[in-house]
Amino acid sequence: MRPWKVIAADLSIGLVSEDAVALGDGPPQRRECEIADLLSFMKRAGIRNTVWLTADMHYTAAHHYDPNRAVFPEFEPFWEFVSGPLHAGTWAPGDLDNTFGPKAMFQKGCSAEQGENLAPCFGLQFSAVSISTAGPKS
């Protein structure tokens, strides 16, 4: 049995960006409606335990989505892990959109003191997520 379903998608779901799904607080609109349709379908179909891997926000983060925090609550809770691109300017963590109720459990990017679009030579490059069923050090 495989209780987890790992979904790879390039665009983050809850980070507000013109390059992502989230467009701002409130009910789903425009491209957010596609995610709302998909999430509500998975709930109706009994598809639980999904993990989303998304990218291209120029920092790394772990988000937990909970319908109890969401404006659109018709979905099962899920995790999203954001990482990448492989080699690009580093950004600071962005704003989260309450449409699907994300909460940042971890985030790492450049600080306000370092400034936006930090060069790769500063060592804040993120591109990998490991998944293990045998513990964190395996």
Partner 1 sequence: MTVTLKDVDNHDLWSVDIEPRPDARPGQIMAQHI
Residues of this chain that bind partner 1 (CB under 8 A): 1-5, 45-49, 51, 60-62, 76-77, 79, 81, 83, 86-87, 105-106, 108, 123-136
- Residue 102 CA to residue 37 CA, distance in Å, equals 17
Q: In the complex with partner 1, which residue's Cβ is closer, 12 or 125?
A: 125
Name which of 24 and 47 has its Cβ closer to partner 1: 47
User: Residue 7 or residue 27: which is nearer to partner 1 going by CB?
Assistant: 7
List strands edge to edge, sheet with 5-11. Answer: 5-11, 50-55, 78-82, 60-65, 102-108
CB 85 within 8 A of CB 56: yes
